[in-house]
């Protein structure tokens, strides 16, 4: 129940930030893009969460990677791994409901389309999620999905989403 309350507080805080209201340092909050201070100054680009995605991201507060585990063969159980590493003063938020929503993929069958926090090995500076699947045909396939996560410092929490995508070669 306490986890759910903190999550709801984080969601309300994110809405409040959008309305110009502040939150206490104990309440997780979403980081907002920088606003221009001079005419012609560019906004910080919002990370892409739609489209094809990529296998890794390296940002100031974290590194995120989707990588293969072993080789892949038709009708053989297989795995890939999502690894989040917090950088600098950031740590992995142990109160956040980490999840990976997998995209349908020709040639790959998933036991679950939504992988949740119970599949995450969470430590202070890292979160590792195993993605189970079975290739159903030989050749190229794409493993992709939207990964939701959070990293925090003592003063702020970033609530993030990144589109991950990995090319799979099935023998």
Domains annotated for the chain, with CATH where assigned, are 1-30 (no CATH), 49-170 (2.60.40.10)
Cα 33 from chain centre? 18
The closest of 53, 60, 6, 5 to 31, measured between CA atoms, is 60
Q: What is the pLDDT of residue 52?
A: 74
Based on its alpha-carbon atoms, the radius of gyration of the chain, rounded to whole angstroms, reads 18
Residue 32 CA: distances (Å) to CA of 20, 56, 160:
11, 22, 11
Lowest pLDDT segment from 5-19, 106-120, 140-154: 5-19
Mean pLDDT over 89-113 rounds to 96
**Does pLDDT of 18 surpass 70?**
no
Average pLDDT of the residues of the chain: 79
Q: Which residues contact 95 (CB under 8 A, 6 or more apart)?
A: 3, 6, 7, 28, 150
Quick: pLDDT tens for 127-151. Answer: 999 999 999 999 999 999 999 999 9
């Amino acid at each position: 129940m306490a986890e759910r309350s903190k999550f709801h507080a984080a969601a309300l805080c994110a809405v409040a930030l959008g309305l110009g209201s502040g939150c206490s340092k104990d309440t997780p909050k979403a980081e907002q893009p920088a606003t221009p201070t001079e005419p012609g100054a560019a906004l910080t680009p919002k990370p892409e969460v739609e489209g094809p995605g990529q296998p890794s991201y390296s940002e100031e507060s974290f590194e995120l990677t989707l990588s293969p585990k072993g080789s892949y063969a038709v009708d053989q159980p297989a795995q890939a791994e999502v690894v989040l590493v917090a950088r600098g003063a950031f740590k992995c938020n142990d109160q956040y409901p980490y999840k990976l929503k997998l995209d349908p993929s020709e040639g790959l069958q998933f036991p679950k389309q939504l992988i949740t926090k119970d599949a995450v090995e969470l430590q202070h500076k890292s979160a590792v999620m195993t993605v189970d699947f079975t290739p159903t045909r030989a050749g190229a396939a794409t493993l992709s999905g939207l990964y939701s996560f959070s990293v925090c410092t003592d003063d702020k929490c970033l609530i993030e989403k990144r589109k991950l995508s990995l090319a799979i070669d099935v023998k």
